[in-house]
Each structure stands twice: as C-alpha cells, then as structure tokens.
Amino acid sequence: MEQITKNIYKIGEISNIYLILGETTLIIDAGHEKNKKLIKEEIESIIPIEKIKILLFTHLHYDHIGNTDLFKNAKLYADEREINDYKGSSNDSVFGKISKESSIVLKEKLEPLPETILGLNIIKCPGHTRGSVAFLDEKDKLLFSGDCLFHNGIGRTDFQNSLPNEMEKSVNNLLKFINEKKFELLPGHNY
C-alpha cells in the first residue's frame, strides 16, 4: 500500500485500487479477484471495509471489478455506456470472468455516474472501452486514469467494446492535465 496524500491510498498488485477517506469514504475500482485477501487486509488496516460507501469504476473489466462483493455497503457507479455493455454481455469474452457474487452485486446495484461525485469530476475517455472514464481531483491535482493512460503507455483497444479510433483523443485530453496543469497520474496499473 502506498499513501498518496493524507487521505488517499493506493493498493496495487495486479491492478490499482484507490481508497479515498473523507466524510463519505470511497474506492476507485475493486481490483482483481486473485488479490481479494490482500486487498481486504490492506483496506481494513486503515478503515473497516463496511464504512466504504461508494465504489466508482473507471471501467468494468474483470481486473477492476473482481472484488466488488467485498463492498456490501457501497453504492456502485460506472459510466452508463459501460453498464449497458456489461449488462448486455451474455458471456465473459468482453469483461472477463469474476465470481458469481460480484457479478450479482454489479447487475443489481450499478448506477450511472453523475457529472461529479464527492469532489471528483468525471472525464469520459472512450477507447479502452466505450464507457471508460477517468476521475479528476482538482483539489489535490490528481488524475485517476483507469486503463486509458499509464506511466509508460496507453491501454489496449482490441476488446469487443473498445473504440480504437477514440483512444488518441482521450489520451491527449488526459495528457493536458498532466503536462499543462501538473496533475499527478494515478493509473489503473503500475506500468
């Protein structure tokens, strides 16, 4: 676990999860199911997991939604296009295999993201998936980029629900925050 600011932590192994403490505690992405025990332990070393009230998703691939069932008291939010693709998928070829428990929670509780939530602005960045989003924390100058932009590259665009023709525009939009406005990049993976 890495402390980013006084109230923000990164829990990363296969994919990154961001814990943001506040009046309403939230998580960005739920990580890969293979790390369930580690993720639960690291979060609970800071706060009881049941106190997490909001779970935001940058997109709904298996390595970002695998531990959704850990956050039983949380409201779940993703981009509406991402929700429609996820609920409309009849197999695991698009989003990957996750536990039955997480799948049920997602299908029952997912709600479309508002334009802002708890001080985070939502930036649509289609490319990796149709409904990929990034979260912008203006106060702390942080950009949670999901799988659109990494420290050493960009996300894949060869999935069934990818929009490869949109990726360059999305990446360039996010790079403006980093290069011009000096936001810190907090990607979905450590590469």
SS3 104: helix
Q: Degrees (nearest 5) of the Cα angle 52, 11, 2?
A: 115
Residue tagged 């609920």 (tokens): 87
Side-by-side strand order, sheet with 116-117: 116-117, 120-124, 133-137, 142-146, 184-187
SS3 85: helix
Residue tagged 């706060």 (tokens): 47
**CATH architecture, domain defined by 2-187:** 4-Layer Sandwich (3.60)
Report the predicted TM-score, pTM, of the whole model to 2 decimal places.
Answer: 0.94
Give 39-96 pLDDT, tens digit per residue: 999 999 999 999 999 999 999 999 999 999 999 999 999 999 999 888 876 555 456 6
Distances in whole angstroms, Cα of residue 83 to Cα of each of 95, 150, 172: 11, 23, 25
% of the chain at pLDDT higher than 90: 80
Residue-level pLDDT at 98: 86
Residue-level pLDDT at 56: 98
129, amino acid identity: T
Residue-level pLDDT at 91: 52
What are the structural domain ranges in the chain?
Answer: 2-187
